[in-house]
Amino acid sequence: GAGVSQSPSNKVTEKGKDVELRCDPISGHTALYWYRQSLGQGLEFLIYFQGNSAPDKSGLPSDRFSAERTGGSVSTLTIQRTQQEDSAVYLCASSQQGANTGELFFGEGSRLTVL
């Protein structure tokens, strides 16, 4: 499809393990965002990539969280030494910066459960 694709859709891991979440944005979109959504809560900004500029990492909650975006396309969010409070849905969104709308297109999310 032509939408934002995220994998895995569900991930269950043990406390202390590392996890990687992947996001494939819409082709041609230069901006990519990661948000975290805890159960019944709003969207918490994590990190924002725009083209070749340095990413805005101001939302990452701790140094256990990191993200990369290779070749201006696919992004990977890595959480090291996972904790139970990391359990949430991790949402990725992309947008075509420079377009009139700037609308964010979201993926379905990756649900992370840390036992």
Partner 1 sequence: GESVGLHLPTLSVQEGDNSIINCAYSNSASDYFIWYKQESGKGPQFIIDIRSNMDKRQGQRVTVLLNKTVKHLSLQIAATQPGDSAVYFCAVSNYGQNFVFGPGTRLSVLP
Number of residues that bind partner 1 (CB under 8 A): 26
The one segment of 18-26, 48-56, 62-70, 73-81 that binds partner 1 by CB under 8 A: 48-56
Put the strands of the sheet holding 5-7 in their side by side order.
5-7, 19-24, 75-79, 65-69
d(CA 107, CA 4): 5
Minimum distance between the CB of residue 110 and partner 1, rounded to whole angstroms? 11
Asked if 35 interacts with partner 1 (CB under 8 A), we say: yes
How is residue 56 annotated by DSSP? B
Q: N- to C-terminal Cα distance for the chain?
A: 33
How would you classify residue 72: left for phi > 0, otherwise alpha for psi between -120 and 50, otherwise beta?
left
Task: For residues 90 and 71, give the distance between their C-alpha atoms in angstroms, rounded to a whole number.
Answer: 22
> Please, are residues 8 and 109 in contact by the beta-carbon 8 Å criterion?
no
Smallest separation, CB 29 to partner 1 (Å): 13
Nearer to partner 1, 24 or 108 (CB): 108
Residue 62 vs 97, nearer CB to partner 1 = 97
Site for partner 1, residues 66 to 105, rule: CB under 8 A: 91, 93, 95, 97, 101-105
Q: Which one, 70 or 100, has the nearer CB to partner 1?
A: 100
Note the residues at the interface with partner 1 (CB under 8 A): 4, 33, 35, 41-45, 48, 50, 56, 58-59, 91, 93, 95, 97, 101-109
